[in-house]
Amino acid sequence: MRINTNVAAMNTYSRLTAANTAKSNSLAKLSSGLRINKAGDDAAGLAISEKMKSQIGGLTQAKRNAQDGISLVQTAEGALNETHSILGRMRDLVVQGANDTLTAEDRGSINKELKALHQELTRIASTTEFNTKNLLGKANNAFTFQIGANENQTLTVTIGAMDGTTLLGSTDATFQINAAATNVRMANGMISAIDKAIATVSDQRADLGAVQNRLEHTINNLTATNENLADANSRIRDVDMAEEMMTFTKSNILSQAATSMLAQANAMPNSVLSLLQG
């Protein structure tokens, strides 16, 4: 028996250290709920998981972007709904003003309302905003939404100028019925201008509706993709609590056993002393 080097104690201590390390790792996993807490736990798994996490974050933000896009489109469409109503009222007034039963004073009253409605069209166009950005006051006003987690995953909507002068082709001062006498040709021209404006607004609203529908489908797809990625990331990164609890219990038993055996191994040199004393 050798007493200068206690090989049994050294071997037992090595196993005790390994058991305690395994127990500590299990405790870290159980307390965090994660199978991978550091690169050493699973280097390849960590790399894949981090990529998935970045994608999940990007998809979540893209979903918010799409929701903001819907809000912008709804704001513009709501304003254009009122624009439609105003144009309809203006058309009624022009048709009424073309009737020869009216006096010059009657047509003057109609012109006042036409002017006010024309100005309201311009006011709506100039004041309709989303997050301080004007929506209806500029020609070919383009808005681009980032609707994906990666580059070039965008959607652009273009909104034309919807002010009175652009829609009707004349200012509020010139878009007037001849108050002195019935001018059928002039009235017909005004009706035609209003009909053209109504068609322009209708086309724009149709475009906005199509964009809104597309964004809603985009949100549904982003939600499904996000859920699938989160599930995949969970399988890679999250710990199986039942399995890890079994590992912890095993490591704990081995640690206790190794601690007991280390005490026995450390006591072995004492038997040599007993032999010498005997």
Q: What is the CA radius of gyration of the chain?
A: 39
In this structure, are strands 141-146 and 133-134 parallel, antiparallel, or unpaired?
A: unpaired
Which is nearest to 182 in space by CA: 110, 117, 115?
A: 110
* pLDDT of 1 over the 60 cut: no
C-beta of residue 155 within 8 angstroms of C-beta of residue 69: yes
CATH code 1.20.1330.10 for 46-236: yes
Query: What's the whole-number average pLDDT of the chain?
Result: 85
Q: What count of residues does the chain have?
A: 278
How crowded is residue 36: how many other Cβ atoms within 10 Å of its Cβ? 21
Q: What is the pLDDT of residues 126-169, one digit of tens each?
A: 999 999 999 999 999 999 999 999 999 999 999 999 999 999 99
**What SS3 state is found at 79?**
helix
Q: What is the pLDDT of residues 24-58, one digit of tens each?
A: 777 667 766 777 777 777 889 889 988 999 999 99
Alpha helices in 34-158 (DSSP H): 43-97, 104-127
Mean pLDDT over residues 269-274, rounded? Answer: 62
pLDDT class for 177, splitting at 50, 70, 90?
A: confident
C-beta of residue 15 within 8 angstroms of C-beta of residue 265: no
In this structure, are strands 133-134 and 129-130 parallel, antiparallel, or unpaired?
A: antiparallel
C-beta of residue 230 within 8 angstroms of C-beta of residue 56: yes
* pLDDT of 179 over the 70 cut: no
Rounded to an integer, what distance in angstroms lies between the CA atom of residue 203 and that of residue 209? 10
Q: Which residue has the higher pLDDT, 184 or 230?
A: 230
Which is nearest to 149 in space by CA: 207, 88, 203, 221?
A: 221
Rounded to an integer, what distance in angstroms lies between the CA atom of residue 43 and that of residue 187? 78
Rounded to an integer, what distance in angstroms lies between the CA atom of residue 37 and that of residue 242? 18
Q: What is the pLDDT of residues 244-260, one digit of tens each?
A: 678 778 777 877 776 77
Name the residue ranges covered by the structural domains of the chain: 46-236
